[in-house]
């Protein structure tokens, strides 16, 4: 008997779900044959048979499974599957076929066709709803884990942007954050048990909101990129996230996170640490404020609130505050001179 593991998509031990089976319980399979599609944090991955044999002990679609744990087994001899009668279920042939492919129990589906007949769209809609609930459950568990496994502290400060909101503000914040992390590497890296492993590279996870939830793909080597390159990469990742085509590699290697809620008018908030990282920067909306220029005149300027949540178990408040001020320093334009 050979175990077929849930691939490690985000991190070993974190949960993922099977979204589709392409074989039935007891089916024969060949080595390398595609068995299932799985998903974690909006990243979909195909699972292929690691040996020839017969499929057994499939997990249920939508049930959370730890990455690295088995989703099914391949046996040398076939097992007789349990056959459920669908005689009492009114469904189109296409609906029955799709239900078989997606692992949907037609008895749980409400039909919208003539006389309550179940259609293919009914099955796909039900499967999508169940998948969304399962993925939301996985996200919720990961967020609770962040809350219970860290000692979160949040610091707030403001950054003066000048007399106009600069173009590509998110990209400029990412660049300023990367430069500050290079100067304060104690926040740049990831947890490994009770130790913190610093990274020589600054790879920032960027929170992106989609119709199906929040994702955080990574921009690598941010210190080496221009603001224009960073902005283009953010736009590219956002497009991939919206079409659910982000790859597992797009999530790999993050050492710090940034979340910007400014577009929704939020001035300040407490972001949640993205494990196994130890810190995240929240970015609020730019707002108008009075500014005293060097000649004493008062003009209109813009500022925004930055909020740094960090794990106090791995870094103290003073160095965290120094990092936050470094972000402000890199983001704030030089004062005007007369």
Structural domains of the chain, ranges and CATH numbers in brackets: 2-141 (2.40.50.100), 152-331 (3.30.559.10)
* Whether pTM exceeds 0.75: no
Backbone angles phi, psi at 74, to 5 degrees: -115, 120
Contact 158, 303 (CB under 8 A): yes
Nearest partner of 159 among 274, 291, 21, judged by Cα = 291
Pairing mode of beta strands 195-198, 204-206:
unpaired
- Gap between the Cα atoms of 331 and 283, Å rounded: 12
- Give the tokens for residue 26: 């007891």
Backbone angles phi, psi at 33, to 5 degrees: -70, 140
pLDDT in tens, the chain (338 residues): 899 999 988 777 788 888 888 888 889 999 999 999 888 876 778 899 999 999 999 998 888 899 999 999 999 988 755 444 445 578 888 888 878 766 677 877 888 888 788 898 888 877 666 555 665 666 666 777 787 889 999 999 999 998 899 999 999 999 999 999 999 999 999 998 889 999 999 999 999 988 777 889 999 999 999 999 999 999 999 999 888 788 878 888 999 999 999 999 999 999 999 989 999 999 999 999 998 887 888 989 999 999 999 999 999 999 999 999 999 999 987 655 44
Name the 3-class secondary structure at 67: coil
């Amino acid at each position: 008997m050979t175990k077929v593991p849930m691939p490690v998509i985000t991190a070993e031990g974190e949960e993922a779900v099977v979204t589709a089976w392409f074989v039935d319980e007891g089916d024969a399979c060949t080595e390398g044959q595609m068995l299932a599609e799985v998903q974690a944090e909006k990243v979909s991955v195909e699972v292929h048979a690691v040996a020839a044999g017969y499929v057994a002990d499939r997990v249920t679609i939508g049930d959370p499974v730890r990455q690295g744990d088995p989703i099914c087994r391949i046996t040398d001899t076939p097992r007789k599957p349990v056959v459920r009668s669908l005689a009492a279920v009114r469904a189109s042939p296409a609906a029955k076929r799709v239900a078989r492919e997606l692992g949907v129990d037609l008895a749980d589906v409400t039909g919208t066709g003539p006389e309550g007949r179940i259609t293919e769209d009914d099955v796909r809609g039900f499967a999508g709803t169940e998948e969304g609930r399962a993925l939301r459950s996985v996200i919720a568990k990961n967020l609770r884990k962040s809350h219970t496994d860290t000692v979160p502290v949040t610091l707030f400060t403001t950054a003066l942007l000048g007399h106009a909101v600069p173009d590509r503000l998110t990209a400029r914040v990412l660049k300023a954050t990367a430069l500050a992390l290079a100067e304060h590497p104690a926040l740049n890296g990831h947890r490994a048990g009770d130790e913190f492993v610093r990274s020589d590279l600054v790879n920032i996870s960027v929170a992106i909101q989609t119709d199906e939830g929040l994702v955080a793909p990574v921009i690598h080597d941010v210190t080496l990129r221009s603001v224009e390159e960073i902005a283009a990469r953010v736009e590219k990742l956002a497009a991939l996230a919206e079409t659910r085509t982000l790859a597992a590699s797009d999530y790999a290697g993050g050492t710090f996170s940034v979340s910007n809620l400014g577009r929704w008018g939020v001035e300040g908030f407490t972001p949640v640490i993205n494990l196994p990282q130890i810190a995240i920067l929240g970015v609020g909306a730019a707002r108008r404020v009075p500014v005293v220029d060097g000649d004493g005149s008062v003009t209109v300027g813009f500022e925004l609130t930055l909020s740094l949540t960090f794990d106090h178990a791995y870094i103290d408040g003073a160095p965290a505050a120094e990092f936050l001020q470094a972000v402000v320093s890199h983001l704030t334009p030089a004062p005007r001179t007369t």
